[in-house]
Amino acid sequence: MSARAGIIVTGTEVLTGRVSDLNGPWLAEQLRQAGVDVGFTIVVGDRPQDLADALDFLAGTHVDLIVTSGGLGPTADDLTAAVVGDWQSRPSVPDPELEKRIAEIVERLSARRSWPVDPEAMAAGTAKQARVPAGAEVLEPTGTAPGLVVPGSSGDAHPPVVVLPGPPGELQGMWPDAMASPLVNEALADRAELRQSTLRLWGTPEAAIAATLRRLDDDLDGLEITTCLREGELEVVTRYGVELAERYDRLEHAVVEEYGSAVFSTDASTVDDIVAHLLESRGLTIATSESCTAGLLAGRLTERAGSSAWVRGGAVVYSNEAKHDLVGVPTEVIERHGAVSEEVAVALAQGARRELRADIGVGITGIAGPGGGTAEKPVGLVHLCVAGPDGVISRAPVLGGGRSGVRARSVAVALHLVRELLQGG
C-alpha cells in the first residue's frame, strides 16, 4: 500500500475558470514521481467553510498528506493559512521574525516599482502573511508569501497539511523545501516506487486501442491503463508497480506489433521533443508560413530553450497580400486555386524555406471558421505542406473542434508531418 495524498487548489478565480489551474496537475506529477498516489484534486473558492469541507473530505479518504495551493496573499480573501490552522486546532499567531523577513522582501520589490504604495497598507498585508499556526513549520518565501507545513493535532485523524502559495513559480520554487520537511517525510514513509510509461500513437482511433486492450485483458492485471485522444494523438499511459515491469513490456510489445509506425513514441517523448531532436541532431533549420494558425506553430516550435539553433523564423500571412509580400506566393496561384488550396500551401512552404533560408519549410492555410466555409471547402479544411531538401509532404484534413480546435489541431498535424518528413528521409 503506497502513500496517498490529496490536493486542494483554492481560489474563486480558479474555480470559475478565470485562471486555469497549473498547480494541481504540477503537484500531482511531482507527488507521482515521489512515489505518492494522488486520488483527488479539489478546486474550492475563497470561502472558509468550503475549504474546511474539502479538508474533511480528504481526511476521510485516509490520505497521508494534504497539499494546498493559493490563498496566502496579502488580501482579505487569502485565508488558507488561517483556515488550515483552525482545522488542525492550531490557531495562528504572529511570527515577528518572519514578518521582518517578508517586509524586507516587499521593500525590495517595491523599490523596483513605480507605484506609490501606502506603507501602512503594506504593513497590514505583511503582518497578515506572517501569521503562523502554532507548531507549524515555515517554508521560506520564494515570492512574498511563506509556505507552511501544519501538523495534524493528536486526537483528530488529520494528516499534515502542506500550505503553498498560488503563483506557480513561487509554489514550484518552494516544493523542494516542502519535500525536505521532516513532517512530510514521516507522513510519506510508505511511498512505493510506482512507474509510469507512455505510448503515443498518431492517427489511431481510440476504439481500436480499446479493442486491443480488451483482447489483452488477461495479461493486464495490476496495470492501471488510461487512454486519451487529443488533437489526433492517442496517448496510452500505464502506471504499475516495479514488480509488473515485464507485464508492461509485453503490453508495449503487443501495441507496437499491432500498430507499427503509428506508435511514434514509447518513452513519453512528445512530437515536439522528437521534432526538436531530429532538427538539432541533423543540424537542420526550419521556417514557417502560417495563415489560419497565424504564428501558433512558430510559437510552439520556440517554446523550447535553445530553439533558436534550428528555428529561423516564420511568416504570419493572414491576408493574401502578406502571402505574396512576405513569402512570395504568386498572386495568380491564389486567384486560380483560392487561398486555401494545396498549391498555396506548397508555395507557402517553399516560400518559407527560400525567404527565411531554412532547410525545412512549413505552409499552413485553412478555414478555421466559424465563417468562410463552402460546400467544397468546409470549415475545418486545412491544407498543410512540409517541404525539405529531399521531399515534400502535403495533406488536407478536415479538422473539428471549432475555431480554436481547428487551429490547435492544424499545429499538431504540421508537427507530425515534419516528423514524418525527417524520419522518412
List binders of its own copies among 386-425 (CB under 8 A). 398, 400-405, 407
Q: Which of 239, 269, 268 is nearest to 251 (CA)?
A: 239
The separation between CA 30 and the C-alpha centre of its own chain, rounded to angstroms, equals 13
- Judge whether 326 and 401 are in contact, CB under 8 Å: no
333 binds its own copies (CB under 8 A): no
Residue number with CB closer to its own copies (214 or 332): 214
User: Which of residues 5, 24, 364, 415 is near its own copies by CB under 8 A?
Assistant: 24
d(CA 61, CA 74): 32
User: Which of residues 227, 266, 269, 394 is near its own copies by CB under 8 A?
Assistant: 227
User: Which of residues 2, 40, 48, 95 is near its own copies by CB under 8 A?
Assistant: 40
228 binds its own copies (CB under 8 A): yes
226 binds its own copies (CB under 8 A): yes
CB of 146 to its own copies, least distance (A): 16
CB of 189 to its own copies, least distance (A): 23
321 binds its own copies (CB under 8 A): yes
Specify the stretch interacting with its own copies by CB under 8 A; choose among 175-183, 305-313, 340-348, 385-393.
Answer: 305-313
What element of type H or E holds 314? strand 311-316
CB of 26 to its own copies, least distance (A): 6
d(CA 111, CA 125): 17
User: Which of residues 3, 54, 102, 183 is near its own copies by CB under 8 A?
Assistant: 54
d(CA 104, CA 6): 34
> Angle of helix 96-111 relative to helix 119-129, nearest 10 degrees?
130
283 binds its own copies (CB under 8 A): no
Scanning residues 336 to 355, which ones bind its own copies (CB under 8 A)? 355
d(CA 323, CA 201): 34
- In 369-388, which positions are buried (b, 16+ CB within 10 angstroms) versus exposed (e)? beeebeeebebbbbbbbbbb
279 binds its own copies (CB under 8 A): no
x/- track of binding to its own copies for residues 79-118 (CB under 8 A): ---------------------------x---x-xx-x-xx
Dihedral of CA atoms 196, 201, 205, 207 in degrees, nearest 10, equals -30
Scanning residues 129 to 148, which ones bind its own copies (CB under 8 A)? none
